[in-house]
């Protein structure tokens, strides 16, 4: 099945290029972690504070909700910038064979901005379709559950048929929504199989992470962090493979 082939090929991209994957992802992850930790510390937040309801209430009274909201918003922004830095670098490595020099991948602001813009565009399209689709679904009465399931499946297929514009933005070869839709014609079945495989892989990783936490917590935490990083790169590789196969006509090895 092509869905499984795309997944296994994407996993292979990461495992065969694990050294390059670490060079692309490790430093941005560390920079993001340090910046977010600094934001949290300067705001007066701590793990003890966030788990203590009375302490949180006192902090809100003294500093206001705005201070917490600003810290949270800046942390989310840092997180997304670091992720996009990794995603763009990985797309360019796979599709353009642009190997990372040293341990700090080049920060291509223009490509990252273009990538973010295309992502927001897809999000807007999904929301514009999701709202009327859900309204129509709940008008079905007893068939609402079937309608919700159908809507979710449609949205999954829609998103994957449009995300080819993201790798295209990363490598500087802009692709329109219409071109992406046309290039991925006939891929709906493949997308659904791919989603099932990704879902099962995530469950398997959760089970292994849970078992490792029970056996030896420090090892479990290390495994969870490593698995999260690898799966993040696998998911980006799936987008890369999807673009390479359906837009550029590459074979899936």
What are the C-alpha distances in Å from 112 to residues 59, 84, 96, 145? 36, 6, 16, 38
Work out the pLDDT band at 168, boundaries 50, 70, 90.
very high
Q: Specify the length of the chain in residues.
A: 253
**CB neighbours of 198 closer than 8 A, spacing ≥ 6?**
7, 235, 238
Mean pLDDT of 152-156: 83
23 or 222, greater pLDDT: 23
**CB neighbours of 229 closer than 8 A, spacing ≥ 6?**
25, 29
Work out the pLDDT band at 211, boundaries 50, 70, 90.
confident
Does the CA dihedral 111-115-117-118 come out positive or negative? positive
Residue 45 has a pLDDT of 59
3-state DSSP assignment of residue 169? helix
Closest to 78 (Cα-Cα) out of 104, 50, 105, 40: 40
**CB neighbours of 174 closer than 8 A, spacing ≥ 6?**
114, 165, 168
| CA atoms within a 13 Å half-sphere pointing along the CA-CB vector of 34 | 6
Residue 109 has pLDDT above 80, yes or no: yes
Residue 56 has a pLDDT of 52
Mean pLDDT of 53-60: 56
Q: Which range, of 182-191, 198-207, 215-224, averages the lowest pLDDT?
A: 215-224
Domain range summary for the chain, segments of one domain joined by +: 2-246
What percent of the chain lies above the pLDDT cut of 70? 84
Mean pLDDT of 202-229: 75
């Amino acid at each position: 099945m092509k869905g499984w082939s795309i997944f296994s090929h994407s996993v292979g991209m990461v495992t065969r290029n694990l050294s390059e994957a670490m060079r692309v992802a490790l430093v941005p992850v560390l920079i993001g972690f340090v910046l977010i930790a600094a934001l949290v510390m300067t705001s007066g937040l701590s793990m003890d504070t966030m788990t203590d309801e009375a302490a949180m209430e006192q902090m809100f009274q003294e500093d206001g909700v705005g201070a917490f909201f600003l810290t949270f918003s800046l942390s989310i922004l840092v997180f997304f910038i670091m992720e996009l830095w990794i995603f763009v670098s990985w797309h360019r490595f796979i599709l353009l064979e642009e190997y990372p020099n040293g341990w700090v991948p080049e920060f291509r602001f223009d490509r990252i901005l273009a990538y973010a813009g295309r992502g927001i565009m897809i999000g807007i399209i999904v929301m514009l379709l999701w709202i009327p689709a859900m309204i129509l679904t709940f008008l079905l009465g007893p068939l609402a559950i079937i309608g919700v399931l159908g809507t979710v499946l449609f949205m999954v297929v829609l998103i994957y048929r449009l995300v080819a514009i993201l790798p295209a933005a990363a490598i500087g070869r802009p692709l329109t929504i219409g071109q992406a839709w046309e290039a991925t014609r006939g891929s709906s079945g493949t997308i659904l199989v791919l989603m099932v495989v990704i879902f099962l892989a995530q469950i398997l990783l959760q089970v292994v992470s849970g078992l490792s936490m029970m056996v030896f917590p420090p090892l479990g935490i290390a495994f969870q962090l490593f698995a999260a990083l690898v799966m993040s790169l696998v998911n980006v590789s799936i987008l890369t493979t999807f673009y390479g196969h359906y837009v550029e006509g590459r074979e899936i090895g």
